Structure 1
């Protein structure tokens, strides 16, 4: 069984006013080529297939295109919901997509529902069993109790998630025995997850998902699966020194802090003896991002260097931080003048000692209908100088209010 493990595509992301549609289209084209070249049996996306709960129409079109093209190639697809994904959006076409060889697991349910098989290419016979767990919301696995301290809540959530994994793994073992009696061979078991684990290296474009409840899930709480395919952390990495517990990372850079990362997808080979090999496939850079930090004097040479080494088909997107000369009132105009005529696009200009919000090009300004309520709140919060715990508490409270309003609207809509 050869599995391609990827995650955190964030289809529909607007990056400082710029669409990622062309990059994601190029990514799909590239992925289909790799599937054919390496004879992949199944593709697994471990959460955050969309960037928001209400993805744009072109993002849904890309999603459907990926599913249709993999079906035409005879390749199974398993999609897990992430913290950015809407359960209702993923579920709306779940039954239809099953007929196209795609399984969608958007939320947490009965253990047996999460023990699924992925088919071998060509024969259609089961090739592996997956403990297919998406992003686990606290309300799906536990009930809050009065009088609990923050530490009690964190421990209770960790225990609840661990129990969920153990129950699904037990269901997978039962299925493994049943299929072994039928097929005459033992199928490997893999597990999935969309969460932060102990020891994982994060970055600024990752939204913390267990704020105030669970900071990181310990690796020893995972079941003894042959391979554990994780999503949520955008930087590819092994976890806790274990070769079989992996974050594939996002396939494109989702923030300037990811620009220097080598993005990848993982080819995972398994058989009845378990995990056999893991190979990293580097993803080409479809859009150059660069974070520049220099004086105004040194900026022209820096811009020329970037322009020379970048993709000639697309202007490089820049995040410019000016040092030494950051007191100048007309700094944005000076930076833009230096960039004019070069294949670069300055998306953000920052002063080293300044605390002002990012300066965007006028043509790159976003309208409110391009932003989610969470995006607006996050950008407004970024203007404040608050301690991280207070920022986290405010974010959690705001999310709770938004969810309650959404729930009220759904009830009102149903009554109407």
Structure 2
């Protein structure tokens, strides 16, 4: 049996306020093409289908288009809710969808009845675990009173293992959306919105997932292999500059008669790559070396001694997809030992303190002659006003 593992689509998300739906559609249609090419039996989506708990009508239409396209490949689809999803909205019309082989699992109260897939070797039990917010599942019979993700996920995995043991099925798959222990730095997990409590209690130990042939995880946006049978697929798009250059794709998982037989990474296209640029504004606008990234998403660090005026609009004359700019001069001058406060303390007059302030904020450049004359006039007027009180 061949299973395609993907997650974190974040339909409806923007990138620095820019619409990325066209890029996401291109990436997901490539996923559909991969499902068809590799004759995939099932596609699993491990949470964060939408980016918002209040997805727009356009976001629902987008999801419908992709699910219909996946269904037309002949694959069954199993998707679960993530922390960004509204469980009630995601599972809307799920009963109708199930009749066509599209399984939406978003309700903790009915999440642990297995979906059964079959191939020439027999059944595969698929357990979809929706995002389990501990505070929202305490009313569910048997749910833990603990406030931790570890307790909630252990409870769900135990229920799935009990059902698996009772079924006698030799093969199984678990789908979950959580932050599991052991995520490597290369997975670019630092930007994940997760509510880690004191001591890291919301990190789920990887041994919680023991006993399943494959565990398809979602929540972090970079691919990661925690164990051979426990993996994150990451998001199909880059949603942060910290993710720039990291691969985008899905895992093609193979189950043979005995269980897990391997996983192959299938890359997806990156319709608009991300790039960080660091140079003076003039060089960014004129140097031929930057022509190759004209249509990328651009985050620029400007090294000019003084902060350029209207930098973003000028950058966009060459890089129309520039979305972030910051000023970090190449050299820091005019900063005496002891810091800014010590520098001010050595300036005995108001005029000198203003000059030190300008040097501090302008990378060592004090007032121009015209600015010096204006300051002198302003200080003289202030002194006259004080003297007349």
Q: State yes or no: 1:129 paired with 2:125.
A: yes
Structure 1, 163-172 or 209-218: larger mean CA deviation: 209-218
Q: 1:207 aligns with which of 193, 206, 212?
A: 193
In structure 1, the residue matched to 2:291 is 307
2:229 aligned to 244, 248, 260, which one?
244
Give the equivalent residue in structure 1 for 2:155. 163
Q: Secondary structure at the match of 2:39?
A: coil
Please give the alpha-carbon distance, in whole angstroms, between the structure 2 residues aligned to 1:252 and 1:101: 26
**Distance verdict in 2 for CA 1:99–1:305, change over 3 Å:** farther
Corresponding position: 1:138 with 2:134: yes
Q: TM-score, normalised by structure 1?
A: 0.71
Distance in 2, matches of 1:10 and 1:59, equals: 10
Alignment match of 1:337 (pick from 305, 314, 317): 314
Q: CA deviation at 1:70?
A: 1.9
Distance of 2:265 and 2:290 partners within structure 1: 27
1:290 counterpart residue number: 275
Q: Aligned residue for 2:296? A: 316
Unaligned runs of 5+ in 1: 144-151, 178-185, 354-416
Residue 13 (structure 2) pairs with residue 13 (structure 1): yes
Cα displacement (A) at 1:233: 0.7
| Rounded Cα–Cα distance in structure 2 between residues aligned with 1:107 and 1:295 | 53
SS in 1 for 2:35: helix
2 CA distance for matches of 1:219 and 1:62?
34
Contact residue 90 and residue 104 of structure 1 kept, 8 A: yes
CA distance in 1, matches of 2:302, 2:202: 34
Structure 1 position 346 matched with structure 2 position 345: no
1:118 lines up with 2:103 in the alignment:
no
Q: 1:264 aligns with which of 234, 241, 249?
A: 249
5+ residue gaps in structure 2?
140-144, 330-389
SS at match of 2:40: coil
What secondary structure does 2:68 align onto? Answer: helix
Within-5 A mapping of 1:14-413: 14-110=14-110, 112-113=112-113, 115-120=114-119, 127-142=123-138, 158-175=150-167, 177=168, 186-200=169-183, 201=185, 202-211=188-197, 214-239=201-226, 242-300=227-285, 304-308=288-292, 315-325=295-305, 327-328=306-307, 330=309, 333-334=310-311, 336-340=313-317, 342=318, 344-352=320-328
CA distance in 2, matches of 1:93, 1:211: 35
TM normalised by structure 2 equals 0.75
SS of corresponding position for 1:217: coil
Task: Provide the aligned C-alpha RMSD in A.
Answer: 2.5
Q: CA deviation at 1:335?
A: 5.0
Query: 2-side partners of 1:260 and 1:112: how far apart?
Result: 37
In 1: Cα distance, 2:146 partner to 2:171 partner:
34
Larger radius of gyration: 2
Alignment partners' CA distance in 2, 1:193 and 1:13: 21
What secondary structure, in the 3-state scheme, does the structure 1 residue paired with 2:109 have? Answer: coil
Distance 1:320 1:169, change over 3 A: same
- Provide the C-alpha distance between the structure 2 equivalents of 1:335 and 1:81, rounded to a whole number of angstroms: 38
Give the SS at the match of 2:229.
strand
